[in-house]
Amino acid sequence: MRRTIHDLRRLAATRKLASLTCYDASFAGVLDDAGVDILLVGDSLGMVIQGHASTLPVTVGDVAYHTRAVARGARTAWIVADMPFGSYQASPEQALGNAVELMQAGADMVKLEGGEEMAATVAFLVARGVPVCGHVGLTPQHVQTLGGYRIQGKDAAGAERVLAGARAIEEAGADMLVVEAVPHSLAERIVARRRSLVIGIGASAACDGQVLVLHDMLGVTSGKRPRFVKNFLAEGGSVDGAVRRYVDAVRSGAFPGPEQVYADEA
């Protein structure tokens, strides 16, 4: 039986939650068997599956297709589907139509990027029965306006923007929040006053859980890797072994270590 958000909250009270991106039924089964709590059908598929330079070309149809595949392979893990660029920014009504498509494809929750400017949309979705995961800090769909994949919240003004965004999204009703590529002290401030489950990626071990792109965790992504990535296949010996090592490291708090988070002066 698939987990519920209430199950995840109960688990988070006793241990950290392990999350990975997933795009197909075969890996969904492997990850599920290894104890991964949350499977994210990420728009990262545009880069690691489709070969694009960013996530921007990904469509709702792409995410729905992969969500259906993951839903067929998963038995217990909670499934989160990314809402791709352009699928929710125009209006809350646009967001609802696309969120419904992803939920009908098998998602338990949808994820969208942004802070205060997206709060009304989050509230609109939640009021209509759509569970929402927010995403603050480094938001890859904003890569062009951010000037690249840069750490966010390094100065006081930037930190306040991230904090305000996280607060607005949570107050709007989001049950989960991804915090990406911010100084660890800023992530800890978000965690200290959280209302939702906080999942970190390049944030802090204090978060309720961690997420990585599957291909990054397996060390098969080419090019320069972000600081927060660790190749677990190098030590795991097999795909299953790598996933289990990742799950164990997240649950125990060993990952991320100091080398995978950003200091205030980073």
Q: Are 125 and 95 in contact (CB under 8 A)?
A: yes
| Distance set, CA 61 to CA 47, 65, 82, 95, 146 (Å) | 16, 6, 11, 14, 26
| Distance set, CA 140 to CA 3, 10, 47, 94, 122 (Å) | 28, 30, 11, 21, 19
Q: How many CB atoms lie within 10 A of CB 50?
A: 12
CA distance 256 to 66: 28
Q: How many residues does the chain have?
A: 266
CA 133 to chain centre: 8
CA 17 to chain centre: 12
Q: Are 18 and 37 in contact (CB under 8 A)?
A: yes
Catalytic residue among 101, 180, 235, 265: 180
Q: Is 180 a catalytic residue?
A: yes
Which residues, 6+ apart, have CB-to-CB distance to 79 below 8 Å? 2, 38, 39, 41, 67, 70, 71, 106, 107, 108, 109
Name the nearest CA neighbour of 149 among 55, 41, 258. 55
Residue 147 class from Cβ within 10 Å (0-12 exposed, 13-18 middle, 19+ buried)?
Answer: exposed
Q: What is the DSSP string of 63-91?
A: HHHHHHHHHHH-SSSEEEEEPPTTSSSS-
Active site residues: 180
